[in-house]
Chain A
């Protein structure tokens, strides 16, 4: 046996030999890739600050709207948050319902397929959502506006005269809601499934109906999960660009609670997409500054969502 040496390392007589070089290079490369992630995020921030800075110190006259950078960004941020919150209000109950349907109502065999179908909504490119919003959804929804205006016109949301084209904040909100449904549903589905089986069975054994079981065990257990899913959805809605740019008849600089009229607040992202091709010089810097504001806003929202998830994982023991 001693004559055969299938190990290629024929020079190795003892236990020595420095085999660590490959390991060092490889782990170095892997660590570098990790560090690159940090650098990329820092780079996003740095370059947006560098290119946005000229707009911050510029003469207010030269900023679009001629009122300075704050007056430029603030109404856009308002519109951004307004549209995103609207989308969230629509999507939150739906995503909880869909999540429950998939996790607790649909037959086990088809549940994962149903989840996949919902996930397909996330695969649709936003530009397709834009076309669909304009040509399909807007005309359908516009039919509701006169009724809303006549009956609920005393609310600021419905006081404007209804838009005939349907290119309103309401339509944008619905499109955004559809777009953020998949991620929220996916999070909800996961946490619903993590509900301890024993708790559920205990509730059922007490004679609870399925609804009562869900109210007693699943929803309390999932509260923070639902919240973090909602934050993730909110983050998506805040940053969505093209669909809003296509659907919304927007007036940058306008702060309005209107949902059904043709004069709507614009959003940061949509405004960048719409104006970038035509702006020059400091106007571009102003757009980048608004993008920086959007970045910080979404960063905070996403960070909060992840923090909730992380806390939950630590305390619930569900992932143990």
Chain B
């Protein structure tokens, strides 16, 4: 199921403001790609443009091309809604639906899309997704409890279970650990390593150690000054980026000299 993403000359605008300029990259299937860079460099904006979530923000638009295993994500006949079903997303802060139980949260993607599956199939999906998110053993006895009653780390894993329940091809993660404590962060990082077997994962993170730990490839975004567009400075294997990057700016950033 995992697919590759090809981005060619992608620029993102908020109204007239150019936020991200001419980014090109290839994301391999069944790999973890980390996007790092200082605040405001456009890495989250870029991530959102991969599954057209930026369209939620009024005035945001893109130029350039994003394709999912060859299919144009921004093609004229392509619907943003179906793109998002193929490219799932996990957010910075855990956001389980407060009116739903843990069980309902996991199948929310199926249910909300108007799907009717027999109860046995739903049970199957719930168990598989929760196991996939390393959460099954912790919650299997209280599936009917509200999702908002879980701890922050558990909530975030619930959100991951919810995202993989619809079986996307790609999973985007926008700083998924920034609101979590170190132990929960570790649990999520372990999970990412497991998920790699089935999914293509793109993760935005502020934490360089995290990028080094979880990713196969790393892209460094930078911004020259406030008001300037963000650019992809370089992208390479994670080991290369953190040991001998080709650009001085990358070197400065990963060695903590700035940012």
Q: Mark A1-23, 1 if CB is under 8 A from B, else 0.
A: 11011111100101111111000
Residues from chain A with a CB closer than 8 A to the CB of B78 are: 15-16
Give the number of A-B contacts (CB < 8 Å): 59
Q: Which residue of A lies closest to B2 (CB)?
A: A1
Chain A: which residue is nearest B126 at the CB level? A6
Interface footprint category on B: 20 to 34
Closest 10 CB pairs of A and B: A8-B115, A15-B78, A6-B125, A19-B81, A6-B110, A19-B79, A16-B77, A17-B82, A15-B71, A15-B82
B87 to chain A, nearest CB (A): 10
B114 with A8: CB separation less than 8 A = yes
Give chain A residues whose Cβ lies under 8 Å from the Cβ of B116: 8
Distance of B207 from chain A, by nearest CB (Å): 30
17 contacts between A and B (CB under 8 A): A1-B198, A4-B125, A5-B167, A6-B117, A6-B121, A7-B110, A7-B115, A8-B113, A8-B114, A9-B115, A15-B68, A15-B71, A15-B72, A15-B82, A15-B86, A17-B82, A19-B82
Q: Which of A8, A14, A16 contacts B110 (CB 8 A)?
A: A8
CB neighbours of B34 from chain A (8 A): none
B150 within 8 A of partner (CB): no
**Closest approach, in angstroms, between the C-beta of B71 and any C-beta of chain A?**
5
Residue of A nearest to B111 (CB): A8
Most chain B C-beta atoms within 10 Å of own C-beta, residue among A7, A9, A15, A16: A15
Contacts of A6 in B (CB 8 A): 107, 110, 115, 117, 121, 125, 165-167
Quick one: given A1-B198, A4-B167, A15-B71, are A9 and B85 in contact (CB under 8 Å)? yes
Within the complex, the shortest CB–CB distance from B186 to chain A, in Å, comes to 26
B124 to chain A, nearest CB (A): 8
Instruction: Please give me the residue from chain B that is nearest to A22 by CB atom.
Output: B114
List the B side residues contacting A4 at CB < 8 Å: 125, 167
Is B166 in contact with A16, judged by CB distance below 8 angstroms? Answer: no
- How far is A313 from B81 in the complex, measured between Cα atoms in Å? 36
Would A2 and B1 be within 8 Å (CB), given that A14-B71, A19-B82 are in contact? Answer: yes
Q: A15-B86, A16-B82 are in contact. Are A8 and B75 (CB under 8 A)?
A: no
A7 and B113 contact, Cβ closer than 8 Å, known pairs A15-B83, A19-B81: yes
Residue B170 at the chain A interface, CB threshold 8 Å: no
Contact with B along A175-195 (1 / 0, CB 8 A): 000000000000000000000
Q: Select the residue from A4, A6, A14 with max chain B CB neighbours within 10 A.
A: A6
The answer to whether residues A7 and B85 also contact, given A1-B198, A15-B73 and a CB cut-off of 8 A, is yes
Out of B79, B110, B113, which one reaches A15, CB within 8 Å? B79
Give A10 to B115 CA distance when docked, in angstroms.
10
- Determine the distance from Cα of A5 to Cα of B117 in the docked complex, in whole angstroms: 10
- C-beta contact mask, B86-125 vs A, less than 8 Å → 1, else 0? 1000000000000000000001011001111100010001
Interchain CA distance A12-B72 in the complex, whole Å: 15
B109: A residues at CB distance < 8 A: 7
Chain B residues near A7: list those with CB within 8 A. 85, 109-110, 113, 115, 166-167
Smallest beta-carbon distance A285→chain B, Å: 49
Q: How far is the CA of A9 from the CA of B116 in the complex (A)?
A: 10
| A15: nearest chain-B partner, CB-CB | B78
* Distance A18 CA – B81 CA, assembled complex (angstroms): 9
Name the CB-closest residue of A to B110: A6
Chain A residues within an 8 Å CB radius of B75: 15-16
User: From residue A1, how far is it (CB to closest CB) to chain B in Å?
Assistant: 5
Binary interface profile of A, 44-85, with partner B (CB < 8 Å = 1, else 0)? 000000000000000000000000000000000000000000
Most central of B82, B121, B167 by chain A CB within 10 Å: B82
Question: In the bound complex, do residue B110 and residue A17 qualify as a contact, i.e. CB atoms below 8 Å apart?
Answer: no
Contact of B79 among A2, A8, A16 (CB under 8 A): A16
Q: Tell me the bound Cα distance from A12 to B167 in angstroms.
A: 13
In the complex, what's the smallest C-beta–C-beta distance from B115 to chain A, in angstroms?
Answer: 3
- Considering the chains assembled together, what is the distance between the CA atoms of A20 and B78 in angstroms? 11
In B34-93, the 8 Å CB interface with A consists of 68, 71-73, 75, 77-79, 81-83, 85-86
Name 20 extra pairs, CB < 8 A, besides A8-B113, A17-B82: A1-B1, A1-B198, A6-B110, A6-B125, A6-B166, A7-B85, A8-B114, A8-B115, A8-B117, A9-B115, A15-B68, A15-B72, A15-B75, A15-B78, A15-B82, A15-B83, A16-B82, A18-B79, A19-B79, A19-B82
Residues of A within 8 A of B68 (CB): 15
Task: Collect the chain A residues with CB atoms within 8 Å of residue B72's CB.
Answer: 15
**Complex: A2 Cα to B166 Cα, angstroms:** 12
